[in-house]
Structure formats: structure tokens, C-alpha cells
Amino acid sequence: MITLQEKGRIASVAVSTPPYCLHQSKAVEILNKYYAEKLSRRNREIMQKVFAHPGIQSRFLAIENPENLISEEPDARIARFTHWAVKLSKEAVLSALEKARLTVNDVGALVVNTCTGYICPGISTYLIEELGLPRQTRVYDLVGSGCGGAIPNLQICKDMLIQNGNRAVLSVSVEICSATFQMDDDPGLIVSNAIFGDGAAAAVLWNQPKGLKLAASMSTYATEYRSAIRYIHKNGQLHNQLSLSLPHVAGKAVAGVIKKLLEPLNMDVRDVKHWALHPGGEKIINAVRDAIGLTEKQTYASRAILSEYGNMSSPSVWFVLQRILEGDIAPGDWLIMVAFGAGLSAHAFLLRAGDRSY
């Protein structure tokens, strides 16, 4: 049985992107320049069609010149990942703390998730140094959750609030998807290179009576579909693997997790006004919309973020939530964050708007 929790709220949300904005017309121009002769005729047609689709207009990349991706060495790539993951995370955290009118001295714990680069020690320890967090801050690094990682992160942060009393908990999701760039005569890689961008998001959680109430959450794992969306290693480097069946599979998984979340609370989809759906791609948004039974209006924020930023993997759902909070949301409104990704996993977090202005 799921029960609505009385304590734990999201005080603020902030996001950060690198400065370089890549428009889709420029992106396909670069790929044609270096790879057109290596692609089959069918895949060249797929590339032109995917990049011309109006669902994504631009993305932000953590690199000065996207052509540098073509010959980037593995050591340079992980160094770039580390630099930008820490930089963007720091920017998002400082902005979120400022919105909540808190300082680093008010923080008791930090959880960071990523799937686009592996470093040891993790990003969290760099943030202790960069932010000047107390050395006794509890920090955790999560890897391997893919695009759905923000909500398991939030679930852990919610549990940590119980142990931190009046101290805030930071939830950080950061992905440098460009650090996993690969190109081959493979439709999955072509689609990946057309949709993914870089970004970070941070949320401040506290036990004060203002903010978005962390009501309940649910996760599910359809491991039989693990190969539908995942990273695989080839020659020691990450290659994104996407299945053409992903929209259908994701829609089915999300509908299931929403049902498991709402039914024990005697709620249904009609009780929830706002939906922060992970913008995995237009077909995926459509599939999730139809599987849950949402209106087109309830997908507007996800479509807007997809158009302006592409799919940034795990931080994306926070970008969508922030866009919703900037709009017509009233105290008492129910809201659900939905994310899905590697596993195959689907996650949902039920929130309720409070009287705080975001």
C-alpha cells in the first residue's frame, strides 16, 4: 500500500546548459561531410529525414566546435566530460540554492546521477570542492539508470530528508551526451546523434512547509526489454543502442507504472493536471500520451523542451518540470514527473503544488 507522505518538498529547481547551441541544419551538414560516403543509401535517407523533423530545432553541446567530436580521443573525451559535468552541475546547484534563499552551509546531503561518463571519485566529490560544501556532507553518485535516472535520485533524496532534519538535500542530474558520440552505418546511432544534447539540473529538497510536496513514487523494470535502450561497449567506448520498438515499449511501461502509483491512492489520471514527461523524442511522447490517456495540452512542456534542447537524458525531466512551474500551476494541483530509460525502467513521482512561487 502506498501512502501520501507529509514531509519532504522540492523547494526549487534550476537548470544549466553549455553555451554552444547547435541547430539541426548545421548538425546534419557536419555528419554528411564526414560520414555520407560511409552510410548506405537507406541510412542517408533516414538521416536527412530525422534531422529535418520539426520536433527538435536545436541542442546545446559541451564543446567549442562540434567537428572536434569526429576525431576526439578517449582521454580527451573523459576530461571534457569531467570538466563540463562539474561546471554545469555547479551552476545549476548555485541557481537552485539562490532560488530557495539558502547557502551551501544549509546543505546536508548531495546525490548526483549520470550515465554518460564514468570517473572515480565521482562528480559529487568535485562538487564538494567547487561549491565549498562541508566536508561532512553525505554524498552519493548513481550510474547506470540512463534517461530515467533523475527519479531514482529524487527517491533517494526524499529518504535522506528523514535523516537530515532541517538541512537541505541536493538532487543533481547531469549528462554530457556528446561525450558518447559515435557514428556508424546504424539507424540507432543516426537517431541518437539527431536527438541528444548536454545539460544539468539541480533541485533543493527540504522539510519546510513550502514547495512541491513529494507525495509518492513508483518504479518498475521490464528487464526483458533491456536491449531496447542501453549503452553497449565497443572497443572500450560507449555506443548508444536504440530500438525502433522503443516508443511502444516505453508507452506500455509508463502506463503500467502510473497505474501502480495511482490506484492504491484511489486516484486516476484525470486527477492529475500537470505531467512532466521525459522528452525522449516525438514518437515517444506520442506513445506515452496515448498509453496514459493525456490531452495534447498536457504534453506542451515536454514538446517545448524537446524542440529547444533535444533529449538531454536524465536532466530533461527537470527541464520540463521547471517549464511547467513557470506556467499556470496553482496551489493544490497534482503533478507527476515521468522518466524512463535503461533497464528498461519506468519511474513516476507524484507531486502536489504548494503556496511557493517558483
pLDDT in tens, 158-188: 999 988 778 999 999 999 999 999 899 988 8
DSSP assigned state of 182: -
Q: Which amino acid is at 347?
A: H
Q: Which one of 206, 236, 264 terminates a domain? A: 206
Q: What is the domain count for the chain?
A: 2
Indicate whether 135 and 26 sit together in one domain: yes
Domain residues for the domain of 249 are: 212-352
**Mean pLDDT for all residues in the chain:** 91
Indicate whether 64 and 80 sit together in one domain: yes
Indicate whether 136 and 225 sit together in one domain: no
DSSP string for residues in 302-354: HHHHHHHH-B-STTHHHHHHHHHHTSS--TT-EEEEEEEETTTEEEEEEEE--
358 inside domain:
no
Indicate whether 163 and 246 sit together in one domain: no
226 inside domain:
yes
Indicate whether 29 and 56 sit together in one domain: yes
Indicate whether 249 and 189 sit together in one domain: no
pLDDT of residue 223: 72
pLDDT of residue 145: 85
Residues 6+ apart with CB under 8 A from 225: 249, 253, 344
Taking the C-alpha atoms of residue 71 and residue 254, their distance in angstroms, rounded to an integer, is: 38
Note the pLDDT tens digit of each residue in 284-333.
999 999 999 999 999 999 999 999 999 999 999 999 999 999 998 999 99
305 inside domain:
yes
pLDDT mean values, one per 10 residues, the chain (358 residues):
68 98 96 94 93 95 94 94 98 98 96 95 96 94 92 96 88 97 89 94 95 95 65 63 66 91 96 96 92 96 97 97 94 95 87 76
Domain containing 65 — which CATH number? 3.40.47.10
Taking the C-alpha atoms of residue 95 and residue 104, their distance in angstroms, rounded to an integer, is: 11
185 inside domain:
yes
Indicate whether 93 and 226 sit together in one domain: no
201 inside domain:
yes
33 inside domain:
yes
pLDDT of residue 357: 46
DSSP 3-state assignment of 205? strand
